[in-house]
Structure 1
Amino acid sequence: MTFLHWAILFPFLFAFMVPFLYKTFRKIHTGWFVLPLPICLFIFFLQFLPGVKYKEGIVQTVKWIPSLGIDFAVYVDGLSLLFALLITGIGSLVVLYSIYYLSKEKEQLNAFYVYLLMFMGSMLGVVLTDNTIVLYTFWEITSFSSFLLIGYWHYRERSRYGALKSMLITVFGGLSMLGGFILLYIMTGTFSIRETIAQSSSIADNGLFIPALILLLLGAFTKSAQFPFYIWLPDAMEAPTPVSAYLHSATMVKAGIYLVARFTPVFAGSAEWFWIVSLFGIFTLFWGSFHAVKQTDLKAMLAFSTVSQLGMIMSLLGVGSAALLFDHFEFYSVAILAAIFHLINHATFKGSLFMVAGIVDHETGTRDIRKLGGLMSLMPITFTIGLIGAFSMAGLPPFNGFLSKEMFFTGMIRVLNMDVFQTETWGFLLPVLAWIGSIFTFIYSMMFVFKTFAGKLQLENLPKKPHEAPIGMLIPPIVLASLVVIFGFFPNLLAYSLIEPAMKSVMPSVLKDGEHFHIHISHWHGFTAEFWMTVGVVVLGIFLYLTASKWKRVYDLQPKWMTLNQLYDHSLKTAGKTSNRLTSFYMTGFIRDYLIYIFAFMIMAVGATMIIKQSISFAADDAAPVGIYELILSIVMIAGSITAVLARSRLTAIIALSSVGYSLALFFVLFRAPDLALTQLVIETISTALFLLAFYFLPELQKKDKTRRFRLVNFIISAGVGGIVTLLAISASSERTGKTIAEYFLETSYSLGGGYNVVNVILVDFRGFDTLFEITVLAIAALAVYSMIRLRTGGKDVEENGFKNE
Structure 2
Amino acid sequence: MTLIHYLILMPILAAAFIPLLGVGAPKLHLGWGAITVPILLFSFFVSYVPAIASGDVFSASVAWMQALDLHFAIHLDGLSLIFTLLITGIGSLVVLYSIFYMSKERESLAHFYAYLLLFMGAMLGVVLSDNLMVLYLFWELTSVSSFLLIAFWFRRKNSRYGAQKSFLITVGGGISMLVGFIMLHVMSGTNSIQEIIAMRDTLHEHSLFVPALVLILIGAFTKSAQFPFHIWLPDAMEAPTPVSAYLHSATMVKAGLFLVARFTPVFGGEATWFWLVSGVGIFTMFWGSFSAVKQKDLKALLAYSTISQLGLIMSLFGLGSAALQGGASTESVLYTKAIFAALFHLVNHSTFKGALFMIVGIVDHEVGTRDLRKLGGLIAFMPVTFSLAVISSFSMAGLPPFNGFLSKEMFFTAVLNANQMTLFSMETWGLLFPIVAWIGSVFTFAYSMILVFRTFLGPYRREKLEKTPHEAPIGMLISPIILCGLIVLVFFMPNQLSHYLLSPAMNSILPTYANMDGLIPHISAWHGFNLELLMTIGVAVIGAVAVKTLRYWYLVYDFFPEHRSIDSGYRWMLSAGERLSHQATSRYMTGFLRHYLYYIYGFLLLITGGTLLLSGSIIIDPSGDAPVAVYEVIIVLVMAAAAIGIPFTKSRMTAALLNGVLGYSIAIFFVLFRAPDLALTQLVVETVTTVLFLLCFHHLPEWSREERSLKVRLPKLLVSIGMGALTVLIALSVQGNRLFDSISSYFEDSYDLAGGRNIVNSILGDFRAFDTMLEVVVLFIAGIGVYTLVTLKAPKGEDERERE
TM-score by length of 1: 0.95
- The one-letter amino acid of 1:371's match is K
| Contact 1:237–1:299 (Cα < 8 Å) also in 2 | yes
**Aligned equivalent of 1:460, options 444, 450, 463:** 463
Q: Deviations over 1:123-178 (max 9, x none)?
A: 11111111111111111111111111111111211111111111111111111111
Q: Deviations over 1:185-204 (max 9, x none)?
A: 11111111111111211111
**Aligned equivalent of 2:368, options 354, 365, 369:** 365
| Residue in structure 1 matched with residue 637 of structure 2 by the alignment | 635
Q: Aligned in 2, Cα 1:780/1:704: closer, same or farther, shift over 3 Å?
A: farther
Matched residue SS, 1:64: strand
CA–CA separation in structure 2 for the residues paired with 1:83 and 1:366: 33
- The one-letter amino acid of 1:336's match is I
Q: Deviations over 1:67-94 (max 9, x none)?
A: 2111111110000010000000001111
| Residue in structure 2 matched with residue 491 of structure 1 by the alignment | 494
Q: Aligned in 2, Cα 1:576/1:700: closer, same or farther, shift over 3 Å?
A: closer
Q: Establish whether residue 767 from structure 1 lines up as the match of residue 768 from structure 2.
A: yes
Matched residue SS, 1:75: strand
| Contact 1:500–1:519 (Cα < 8 Å) also in 2 | no
Q: Aligned in 2, Cα 1:363/1:66: closer, same or farther, shift over 3 Å?
A: same
CA–CA separation in structure 1 for the residues paired with 2:774 and 2:340: 63
CA–CA separation in structure 2 for the residues paired with 1:697 and 1:547: 78
CA–CA separation in structure 1 for the residues paired with 2:99 and 2:352: 21
Alpha-carbon deviation of 1:777?
A: 5.1
| Contact 1:35–1:92 (Cα < 8 Å) also in 2 | yes
Alpha-carbon deviation of 1:505?
A: 0.9
| Residue in structure 1 matched with residue 649 of structure 2 by the alignment | 647
| Residue in structure 2 matched with residue 279 of structure 1 by the alignment | 279
Alpha-carbon deviation of 1:666?
A: 1.8
Matched residue SS, 1:207: coil
Q: Aligned in 2, Cα 1:597/1:295: closer, same or farther, shift over 3 Å?
A: same
| Contact 1:324–1:510 (Cα < 8 Å) also in 2 | no
| Contact 2:173–2:218 (Cα < 8 Å) also in 1 | yes
CA–CA separation in structure 2 for the residues paired with 1:320 and 1:777: 61
- The one-letter amino acid of 2:452's match is V
Q: Aligned in 2, Cα 1:654/1:331: closer, same or farther, shift over 3 Å?
A: closer
- The one-letter amino acid of 1:739's match is D
Q: Establish whether residue 718 from structure 1 lines up as the match of residue 720 from structure 2.
A: yes
**Aligned equivalent of 2:341, options 338, 347, 355:** 338
CA–CA separation in structure 2 for the residues paired with 1:431 and 1:553: 26
CA–CA separation in structure 2 for the residues paired with 1:391 and 1:184: 43
- The one-letter amino acid of 2:376's match is G
Q: Aligned in 2, Cα 1:376/1:308: closer, same or farther, shift over 3 Å?
A: same
| Residue in structure 2 matched with residue 421 of structure 1 by the alignment | 424
CA–CA separation in structure 2 for the residues paired with 1:790 and 1:32: 45
| Residue in structure 2 matched with residue 480 of structure 1 by the alignment | 483
Alpha-carbon deviation of 1:250?
A: 0.5
| Residue in structure 1 matched with residue 210 of structure 2 by the alignment | 210
- The one-letter amino acid of 1:106's match is R
Alpha-carbon deviation of 1:536?
A: 1.6
CA–CA separation in structure 2 for the residues paired with 1:109 and 1:704: 59
| Contact 2:265–2:510 (Cα < 8 Å) also in 1 | yes
Q: Aligned in 2, Cα 1:691/1:350: closer, same or farther, shift over 3 Å?
A: closer
Alpha-carbon deviation of 1:621?
A: 2.3
| Residue in structure 2 matched with residue 671 of structure 1 by the alignment | 673
Deviates more, 1:324-333 or 1:215-224: 324-333
Q: Establish whether residue 501 from structure 1 lines up as the match of residue 497 from structure 2.
A: no
Alpha-carbon deviation of 1:644?
A: 2.7
CA–CA separation in structure 2 for the residues paired with 1:434 and 1:132: 34
Alpha-carbon deviation of 1:293?
A: 0.5
| Residue in structure 1 matched with residue 753 of structure 2 by the alignment | 752
Alpha-carbon deviation of 1:377?
A: 2.7
| Residue in structure 2 matched with residue 794 of structure 1 by the alignment | none
Matched residue SS, 2:64: strand
**Aligned equivalent of 1:686, options 688, 691, 694:** 688
| Contact 1:500–1:517 (Cα < 8 Å) also in 2 | no
Q: Aligned in 2, Cα 1:771/1:452: closer, same or farther, shift over 3 Å?
A: same
Alpha-carbon deviation of 1:801?
A: 7.7
Alpha-carbon deviation of 1:723?
A: 1.4
Q: Aligned in 2, Cα 1:652/1:411: closer, same or farther, shift over 3 Å?
A: same
| Contact 2:647–2:713 (Cα < 8 Å) also in 1 | no
**Aligned equivalent of 2:527, options 518, 525, 528:** 525
Alpha-carbon deviation of 1:790?
A: 8.5
Alpha-carbon deviation of 1:696?
A: 4.5
Q: Deviations over 1:708-731 (max 9, x none)?
A: 443332222122111111111111
Which segments of 5 or more consecutive residues in structure 2 lack a partner in the other structure?
Answer: none
CA–CA separation in structure 2 for the residues paired with 1:160 and 1:456: 35
CA–CA separation in structure 2 for the residues paired with 1:582 and 1:368: 43
Percent identical among aligned pairs is 55
Alpha-carbon deviation of 1:745?
A: 2.3
Q: Deviations over 1:565-615 (max 9, x none)?
A: 111111111111211111211111111001000000000110121123221
Deviates more, 1:421-430 or 1:778-787: 778-787
Alpha-carbon deviation of 1:694?
A: 3.8
Alpha-carbon deviation of 1:766?
A: 2.0
| Residue in structure 1 matched with residue 184 of structure 2 by the alignment | 184
**RMSD (CA atoms):** 2.2
| Residue in structure 2 matched with residue 237 of structure 1 by the alignment | 237
Alpha-carbon deviation of 1:459?
A: 2.1
Q: Aligned in 2, Cα 1:475/1:29: closer, same or farther, shift over 3 Å?
A: same
Q: Deviations over 1:92-121 (max 9, x none)?
A: 111111111112222211111111111111
CA–CA separation in structure 2 for the residues paired with 1:253 and 1:42: 20
Alpha-carbon deviation of 1:179?
A: 1.0
Alpha-carbon deviation of 1:684?
A: 2.4
Matched residue SS, 1:60: strand
CA–CA separation in structure 1 for the residues paired with 2:641 and 2:413: 90
| Residue in structure 1 matched with residue 615 of structure 2 by the alignment | 613
Q: Deviations over 1:434-465 (max 9, x none)?
A: 11101100111111111112222222222211
Q: How does 1:701-716 map to 2 (within 5 A)?
A: 701=703, 703-704=705-706, 706-716=708-718
CA–CA separation in structure 1 for the residues paired with 2:609 and 2:540: 73
Deviates more, 1:460-469 or 1:186-195: 460-469
Q: Establish whether residue 511 from structure 1 lines up as the match of residue 518 from structure 2.
A: no
Q: Deviations over 1:528-547 (max 9, x none)?
A: 22122112211211111111
| Residue in structure 2 matched with residue 550 of structure 1 by the alignment | 552
Matched residue SS, 2:380: coil
CA–CA separation in structure 2 for the residues paired with 1:646 and 1:783: 41
| Contact 1:245–1:351 (Cα < 8 Å) also in 2 | yes
- The one-letter amino acid of 2:360's match is A
Alpha-carbon deviation of 1:373?
A: 1.7
| Contact 2:115–2:149 (Cα < 8 Å) also in 1 | yes
CA–CA separation in structure 2 for the residues paired with 1:32 and 1:511: 46
Q: How does 1:252-263 map to 2 (within 5 A)?
A: 252-263=252-263
| Contact 2:706–2:712 (Cα < 8 Å) also in 1 | no
Matched residue SS, 1:648: coil
Deviates more, 1:392-401 or 1:419-428: 419-428
Alpha-carbon deviation of 1:788?
A: 8.4
Q: Establish whether residue 383 from structure 1 lines up as the match of residue 382 from structure 2.
A: no
CA–CA separation in structure 2 for the residues paired with 1:519 and 1:784: 71
| Residue in structure 1 matched with residue 313 of structure 2 by the alignment | 313
| Residue in structure 1 matched with residue 19 of structure 2 by the alignment | 19
Deviates more, 1:51-60 or 1:474-483: 51-60
Matched residue SS, 2:662: helix
Deviates more, 1:477-486 or 1:718-727: 718-727
CA–CA separation in structure 2 for the residues paired with 1:89 and 1:781: 50
CA–CA separation in structure 1 for the residues paired with 2:795 and 2:32: 51
| Contact 1:641–1:657 (Cα < 8 Å) also in 2 | yes
Alpha-carbon deviation of 1:781?
A: 6.2
CA–CA separation in structure 1 for the residues paired with 2:305 and 2:798: 58
